[in-house]
Amino acid sequence: MDFKGLIDHYETLDKSELIEKLVYKNAKLLTQDNVIEKLQDENKRLTEVEDGHKKINGELTEQIKQLKGESSV
């Protein structure tokens, strides 16, 4: 991003225009932060579900092995 160009542009604005642009940019950043936070929460939830599935699969695999061992006796 061309920050020098952005600064040069901001310097050409009057005070009210600058405040308006900066408030808009800040609101946009806050919105993006909220989206990121929601995605992080969803990622955490999915990781927990995946961990639960791995645990259940491991337990089921052990039960299947036990049942196969019992049926061959």
pLDDT digits (tens, 9 = 90+) for 23-43: 999 999 999 999 999 999 999
In a domain, 67, yes or no: yes
pLDDT digits (tens, 9 = 90+) for 47-70: 999 999 999 999 999 999 999 988
Domain of 60, in residue numbers: 19-71
CA gap 20, 51 in Å, rounded = 47
In a domain, 8, yes or no: no
In a domain, 12, yes or no: no
CA angle 22, 25, 27 (to 5 degrees): 110
CA gap 12, 32 in Å, rounded = 27
The total number of structural domains in the chain stands at: 1
Put simply, whether the predicted model's pTM sits higher than 0.85 gets the answer no
In a domain, 45, yes or no: yes
In a domain, 40, yes or no: yes
In a domain, 51, yes or no: yes
CA angle 31, 2, 12 (to 5 degrees): 85
In a domain, 46, yes or no: yes
In a domain, 53, yes or no: yes
